[in-house]
Amino acid sequence: MENYKTRISVNGHYDPTKGKDYNNSRVANGWTLQDYIWTEDSVRNITTQHGISCNEYSSNHKTTENWVATHIVMLDFDDGKVTTSQLLTDQKNWSFDSYIYSSQNHQKPKEKNGKVVSKCDRLRVLIPLKEPITEITDLKAVEGYFRTKYPTIDQTFMGRSRYFAHGTTEISSFQNSQGPLKWRELPGLDQFRQAIPKRSWKRKTEKLIKLSDQILDADKKTIKVKDILPDKPIYCPFCGLSEDRTGDGHNAVIKINDAGLPFLFCSSCQSRGMGNKGVYNFHKLMDMSID
Ligand SMILES: [Zn+2]
């Protein structure tokens, strides 16, 4: 396999002679994206001499909002449940290149949230990508793939503002015979895309009612919005069956405003400050008369 180029963000303020206590507070800024070649020497250098992030940012400031792309995947195993021997066996079967190495706390007791956690294998796996991930849905789908494969993985491993302190070569296993991961070809990516809770990444927008929406009437039977008569009791499509409600009866109606346009009013949303004082407008009012 020919050597190929990949990219990773490197922090200019990071000091590899110091530990996480020193470095963690110094790496919010100072990030630049760098090219490097997938060879054992350069990969060892990048993982043991630098503070790194798999992500590209729109400025030198590492934040979720500044995330532009992910150029490489880092698997992070911090609790010993995935062991060195398991990972080295898995690596032999992967159809993509990878570098397995030990983190600073590998086989050391460490303190987490004031508690001492006993020593165990603490490992990372760097996986180069054939092409960067630039869509959050793709990022979440790839994350879902690896989470399913390794349920005990550190859940922040693909965080958009995640960085990794330098590791060690106590465990060090480099592969370059397979080429970078073609992440678009990972099995089941569409399933993982569908499993993404939309509210976690979609910008909040005004909730609008559509004539084609299905709503529950007072008898909890499904009815299309366009078939509901004004002032007929219905269940609010946003909170009707929600556990946040105090009651469990129908709580909404469709009304017609002074301009002759319909809107939905929900008394529960009103009392919880949802919607615009419990009022939800309709989508595409221009089309109303056609339907
Ligand atoms: Zn409601």
Contact present, 141 and 87 (Cβ < 8 Å): no
Q: Cβ distance 84 to 151 under 8 Å?
A: no
What pTM does this model have?
0.68
How far does the centroid of ligand 1 lie from the alpha carbon of residue 215, in Å?
A: 12
Q: 42 with 172, same domain?
A: yes
Residue 132 maps to a domain: yes
- Rounded CA gap, 235 and 253, in Å? 8
CB-CB contact of 161 with 144 (8 Å): no
Tens digits of residue pLDDT in 194-232: 877 655 444 446 788 888 889 999 898 999 999 999 999
- Please tell me whether residues 148 and 116 are part of one structural domain: yes
Phi first, then psi: give them for residue 196, nearest 5 degrees: -75, 125
pLDDT digits (tens, 9 = 90+) for 76-131: 999 999 999 999 999 999 999 999 999 999 999 887 777 788 999 999 999 999 99
Distance 200 CA to ligand 1 centre (A): 21
State the total domains in the chain: 2
Ligand 1 center–CA 193 separation, angstroms: 28
Assess whether 53 and 97 both reside in one domain: yes
Ligand 1 center from residue 279 Cα (angstroms): 9
DSSP state of 85: H
Q: Are residues 184 and 237 in the same domain?
A: no
Q: Domain check: are 175 and 221 in the same one?
A: no
Helix, strand or coil, per DSSP, at residue 27? coil
Q: For 54-79, what is each residue's pLDDT tens digit?
A: 999 999 999 998 999 999 999 999 99
Model pLDDT, residue 197: 66
Is 205 domain-assigned? Answer: no
Measured CA to CA, the distance from residue 241 to residue 216 in angstroms comes to: 10
| 103 DSSP β-pair partners | 167
Give the range of the structural domain holding residue 128, as residue numbers without chain letter.
5-200
